[in-house]
A and B are shown apart, each in its own frame.
Chain A
Amino acid sequence: DTAVSQTPKYLVTQMGNDKSIKCEQNLGHDTMYWYKQDSKKFLKIMFSYNNKELIINETVPNRFSPKSPDKAHLNLHINSLELGDSAVYFCASSLRTGVNEKLFFGSGTQLSVL
């Protein structure tokens, strides 16, 4: 059983479309994250939720909206996709919030906007 699973693995779409990426963790963790891996391969935090409450919201365009229906799920919806949104998006979870907490990552979603 995969601990942190995200779907889809690959997503190819046209500019202007709206798309969602889903993430689920079966570890019983309280905290979930979305990271974006940019063209230079840096992973940058986008959002974090603790027990369904938004706790980190970095400088991300309003077109990106996270949704956490319960603490095991954190989805990412992107409106009006742009070429610059092409990247690999990683979901992660940790038992609780804190910089020393071990992160468990999904295998990533490669988004290509044409």
Chain B
Amino acid sequence: GNSVTQMEGPVTLSEEAFLTINCTYTATGYPSLFWYVQYPGEGLQLLLKATKADDKGSNKGFEATYRKETTSFHLEKGSVQVSDSAVYFCALGHTGRRALTFGSGTRLQVQP
């Protein structure tokens, strides 16, 4: 079946540091890939997505590239801010199912 594996957190960084949160997936065919973010006290919200291999999703300084050869969709940001502190969820959408498959989330803590 489909599955998503994320690096365990928490990830603790200083402000302006470079961020990478790893995400790998297992699926047949060509799934769509997503990153959702959950800020404290709020629901998850879509951060970015990529629907085919080699696509790059980007938003708010975050980027992720759909790598089919490594079945990965790592999230990156060049310079994190305290306001980026949140839980980040990688997710997979497959046409064989009508709901997303989520990873377990990675908590990011950015210190001033």
Interface residues of A (CB under 8 A from B): 4, 33, 35, 40-45, 48, 55-56, 90, 92, 97-100, 102-108
Contacts and interface: CB of A to CB of B under 8 A. Distances in A.
Interface string B2-40: 000000000000000000000000000001100010100
8 contacts: A44-B102, A45-B99, A48-B99, A55-B98, A99-B31, A99-B98, A100-B32, A103-B46
**DSSP class of B's interface residues: helix, strand, loop or mixed?**
loop
A105 B45 contact: yes
Interface of B: 31-32, 36, 38, 41-46, 49, 51, 89, 93-95, 97-100, 102-105
Contacts of A98: 98
Nearest first, the 8 A-B pairs at minimum CB distance are A99-B93, A105-B43, A43-B102, A45-B99, A105-B44, A41-B104, A107-B43, A42-B104
A43 B88 CA distance: 12
Contact of A108 (B43, B94, B103): B43
Contacts, number: 57
A103 B95 CA distance: 16
A42 B99 contact: no
A68 to B, nearest CB: 16
B94 A41 contact: no
Contacts of B93: 99-100
A92 B45 CA distance: 10
A75 to B, nearest CB: 17
Contact of B100 (A41, A103, A104): A103
B43 A42 contact: no
Contact of B99 (A33, A100, A105): A33
A55 B99 CA distance: 10
Given A41-B105, A43-B89, A99 B43 contact: no
Contact of A42 (B45, B95, B97, B103): B103
Contacts of A97: 98
Given A41-B105, A43-B102, A99 B95 contact: yes
